Amino acid sequence: MEVIFRRCAGLDVHKKTVTVCVRILDETGRLQKQTRTFGTTTGELEIMATWFVALEITHVAMESTGVFWKPIYNILEGRFELLLCNAQHVKRVPGRKTDVKDSEWLAQLLQHGLLRGSFVPERPLRDLRDLTRHRAQLVGEQTRAANRIHKVLEDANIKLGAVASDILGVSGRAILNAIVGGENDPKRLAGMAVGQLRKKIPDLEKALRGNLTEHHRFMLSTLLGQVDYLEGLIAKLSQRIAELTPTLPLEGDVLPFDEAVRLATTSPGFAETGAQNVLAEIGTDMKRFPTAAHLASWSGICPGNHQSAGKQRNGRARKGSRWLRRALVQAAWAASRTKNTYLSVQFWRLSRRRGRKRALVAVAHSLLVILYHMLERRQPYGDLGPMHFDELHPERLTRNLVRRLEALGHKVALEKIA
């Protein structure tokens, strides 16, 4: 095979050690191969980097092993051309698997140009990604705490969740705090409702008649404290993200992050938080992806391709970023609940035939493609309208509707309006 890189290295990364194989092809065409093992402390990684510089190494490849690749990437970034590879894409032939063999295999694949690096954004965007991911985890913890509150209330025969849509809203918080404080009278508790919930006071009085004990009050007190604490952390992270986005350094003609967020929020389904979560994963520079299809394939939000003997075997989506998938599916669910939009019509058309889960993934794919084109063209969202699918093939739609009416026993005569 043709040699693409004359001086390269493959790294087999572990928690405490990293095994390095260096492959050098000199001017005479003779291959030189050296293998060494280093520790993963900063001092030993600096020694490894100095060794690479002495050997005039230009390209370095490693597997994305958990978070253990990050210390090495931090030391080598900016000094060499780094390729972070998916471990599933570089599996060697079974048998004789050792750390030395793995590093040699990586170096050999790299030297012949057979490796494809993963998308690793610049350090400021990686820091922003840590913040958005941490916020998403805290939101999940907050949801789990709210579900535990539901469980305690049900155990106490309190059916607050059957009447109030949000038990942690203004009315729900007031009622729960009163319960923790020792209030038992359903009428007094129901009288604390505000806004639209006051129309349901008779139902609230019935729902708040239960069998509360000190154990229930203690559990509710601890869970409400946990929710308050998580809300404070989420607000702190959101403030930090808002402070960080305008100061992100840009290289070349790249769309600023806060401007990209404003563009994304013009599309149905994207609020500011959801747009921040998605853009922290894909960045704002769409030149990294040749087309929207490449971005969808990288994210794992499009059908897979498994063809054999001329037959399509499986269309299961490949694995991508679970953080990006979660944010896109949440945005797709929000878009499906909008009225008179292209995306909501797409969701309900597909959900009738394929089910809601597949329809959500399809809308998430559409949202990602829309976001790609908005960032590439730097233009806000323009909706195609709820009648877009009907206008694609009006003759076919007319035939289908006539056929359905005739099946119901009607005689149909069509006349075009002048």
CA separation for the pair 42, 49 (Å, rounded): 10
User: Are the C-beta atoms of 35 and 100 separated by less than 8 Å?
Assistant: yes
Residue range 4-21, pLDDT digits in tens: 889 999 999 999 999 999
Containing 260, the helix (H) or strand (E) segment is helix 257-264
Residue 83: helix, strand or coil by DSSP? Answer: strand
pLDDT at 327: 94
Q: How much is the average pLDDT of 200-209? A: 92
In the predicted structure, residue 306 carries a pLDDT above the cut 80? no
In the predicted structure, residue 392 carries a pLDDT above the cut 80? yes
In the predicted structure, residue 41 carries a pLDDT above the cut 80? yes
Residue range 311-327, pLDDT digits in tens: 776 667 777 788 999 99
Output 264 or 97, whichever has higher pLDDT: 264
pLDDT at 129: 93
pLDDT at 75: 92
Query: If pLDDT is split at 50, 70 and 90, which confidence band does 355 have?
Result: very high
In the predicted structure, residue 137 carries a pLDDT above the cut 90? yes
Q: How much is the average pLDDT of 329-340? A: 94
Contacting residues for 216 by C-beta, under 8 A, at least 6 apart: 152, 155, 156
Scanning the structure block, which residue is given the tokens 């794992």? 300
Containing 60, the helix (H) or strand (E) segment is strand 59-63
pLDDT at 4: 85
Which of the 8 DSSP states describes residue 56?
A: T
pLDDT at 95: 66
Query: If pLDDT is split at 50, 70 and 90, which confidence band does 92 have?
Result: low
User: Are the C-beta atoms of 329 and 362 separated by less than 8 Å?
Assistant: no
pTM of the model as a whole: 0.85
Q: How many residues does the chain have?
A: 418
pLDDT at 347: 94
Pair type for strands 59-63 and 81-85: parallel
Query: If pLDDT is split at 50, 70 and 90, which confidence band does 45 have?
Result: very high
pLDDT at 10: 93
pLDDT at 303: 76
Query: If pLDDT is split at 50, 70 and 90, which confidence band does 226 have?
Result: very high
Instruction: Write out the E strands in 77-203.
Output: 81-85
Quote the distance between the C-alpha of residue 253 and its chain's center: 26
Q: Which residues pair with 20 in a beta bridge?
A: 11, 36
**Exposure on the CB side of residue 230, measured as CA atoms within 13 A:** 19
* Assigned token pair, 119: 């998308």
In the predicted structure, residue 376 carries a pLDDT above the cut 70? yes
In the predicted structure, residue 97 carries a pLDDT above the cut 90? no
Query: If pLDDT is split at 50, 70 and 90, which confidence band does 389 have?
Result: confident
Domain 7-111: state its class.
alpha beta
The burial of 259, by beta-carbon neighbours within 10 Å (0-12 exposed, 13-18 middle, 19 or more buried), is given as middle
Residue range 231-273, pLDDT digits in tens: 999 999 999 999 988 878 766 678 889 999 999 999 999 999 9
Q: How much is the average pLDDT of 360-372? A: 94
User: Are the C-beta atoms of 317 and 301 separated by less than 8 Å?
Assistant: yes
pLDDT at 315: 67
247-251 contacts at long range (C-beta below 8 A, 24 or more positions apart):
248/124, 248/125, 248/128, 249/122, 249/124, 251/122
Q: How much is the average pLDDT of 169-195? A: 91
User: Are the C-beta atoms of 277 and 234 separated by less than 8 Å?
Assistant: no
User: Are the C-beta atoms of 223 and 168 separated by less than 8 Å?
Assistant: no
Q: How much is the average pLDDT of 269-293? A: 92
The burial of 278, by beta-carbon neighbours within 10 Å (0-12 exposed, 13-18 middle, 19 or more buried), is given as buried
